[in-house]
Structure 1
């Protein structure tokens, strides 16, 4: 048997990827890691969010390794839009090696307060200000969209798992045919000075969805895995901005820093490559140890 300690252990050169929410934040970090390692990435984001600048940057980054990027608009809130997305990519590709279902939103209560220091009346007023539509929108994007995207791309993912690797092994031995779902470490603790109830609840549901989908797809060895990032700079986590309610928490992690794109992209590269080909139905927490403090120690 050939040694596993080869350049191909974490290799994704020539792999086809679909990354939702890919034009900014975590999705763009992941896309950068993929194209720099030779993958072809379909960058999916809202029609209202231009992907042109992101795609141009990705193509520059991927040139040396043979990676490339192509932007496609899609609002993953809609089932028909998701089906159209899968059909559009299916017309261009015979398989998809990885679906990185990353798009997500957060809807804080309109009336915010410092949860850890608010009076009873202040806390109740803040929590009561949440709207039904905020909860509906949050679950539609953060949970339901992952479900329909995974189902829509199942045939293309299964086709990837059947491909033969360069060394003659089945594609599933190289990690091909995998769904990576972005959750959050917020699903794993309940300590924060911001009311993230709808967001954290949707992410907890997403964590279980990873297991449900993995079980359903297991006969085809289309793997489903999740990542639970902690504090990583994005529009949702404006690290270092004055007045941000999260600012007092950023340095309260054992790593003593915020996460960065290498932390996120490296985790995904592990999960979608030969290195992670035997990992299925689990979620990896990438938070620098944040939940160690949040669960009972803060």
Structure 2
């Protein structure tokens, strides 16, 4: 029987992590976030890789304040994750500071709804077609660039640092990639058109398996998380008139997700506790997919 205590199993103390999308949405410490989970767990260094236009300095200051009692610290690195050269530059900056990377939380994502909205579950054929046809090809390209392709290039650019961490940690948790997908990849039973978003997330789910297979010789683990209804700038859960508000009563948990739900999953996958998990995705949706797919 293992002599590891619970706090040791889930500890990421002294780990080095890179987190994309660190200034908004799920990446931000003000929401259910990888960053909040990691700083609370006494991370030695958290790198927030964000768009150059994001409030990096403000977010880094808040993270440093959170991590101060635990000797944690944060450094912000501007990065356009849809641009391969920008990703390479960010990887170079991290490599100049660290010899290994224990965790890549590839978390950045976008959603581009059709300009002409409708209730896809109730709209007449002509109205539905008009809404679906209004989708812009550029929005599809941007969605896949951030939601799928970026995870690939980030993981590849940081692979040497991740492999070094896996070897140093004797393949017991360090050197992991956690990719944020969405439960939308598993269904599309919503009252708005999420086709491009859901399709990009489905591609991301398969990418998790592809990368895990390619990195397996170095035991750089790749896993995904598929959140359901979770408050973020992309999804203002709880606000009056929210497009998803009518669907909340269809979630078995009867509530949106919260910080503990996401933080717990990230800590599990990033720590010794999840060190034998590889190439799979965890759905964190309160049971929404069960009902959305008709499994009542």
TM class, shorter-chain normalised? over 0.9
Q: Is the 8 A contact 1:13 1:66 kept in 2?
A: no
Q: Which runs of 4+ in 1 moved over 6 A?
A: none
CA distance in 2, matches of 1:264, 1:240: 18
Partner of 2:35: 31
Unpaired segments of 5 or more residues in structure 1? 165-169
Aligned to 1:46: 51
Offset of 1:251 from its aligned partner?
3.1
| Aligned counterpart, 2:68 | 63
- Contact 2:167–2:218, Cα closer than 8 Å, also in 1: no
My pick for the range that moved more, 204-213 or 247-256, is 247-256
Residue 105 of structure 2, aligned match among 82, 100, 107: 100
Q: Is the 8 A contact 1:114 1:245 kept in 2?
A: no
Please report how far the alpha carbon of residue 23 of structure 1 lies from its aligned counterpart in structure 2 after TM superposition: 1.1
Tell me the equivalent position of 1:241. 239
Match of 1:226 in 2: 224
How many residues align? The count is: 291
1:112 maps to: 117
Note the alpha carbon deviations across 1:25-58, whole angstroms, 9 max, x for none: 2112210110111111001111011112211111
- The Cα shift of 1:61 comes to 1.1
The structure carrying a bigger helix percent of its residues is: 2
Q: How far 1:297 moved relative to its partner? A: 5.0
1:70 CA displacement: 1.1
Q: CA deviation at 1:2?
A: 4.5
CA shift at 1:105, angstroms? Answer: 0.4
Q: CA deviation at 1:137?
A: 0.5
Larger deviation, residues 58-67 vs 123-132: 58-67
Look up the SS of the partner of 2:246 in the other structure: coil
Question: What displacement does 1:116 show?
Answer: 1.0
- Aligned counterpart for 1:156 among listed residues 157, 161, 165: 161
Report if aligned partners of 1:20, 1:102 keep a CA contact under 8 Å in 2: yes
Distance in structure 2 (CA, Å) of the matches to 1:281 and 1:127: 33
Q: Which residue is equivalent to 1:167?
A: none
Q: Normalising by the residue count of structure 1, what TM-score does the alignment of the two structures yield?
A: 0.95
Distance 1:38 1:291 in 2: 33
Report the Cα distance in structure 1 between the residues aligned to 2:2 and 2:126, rounded to whole angstroms.
65
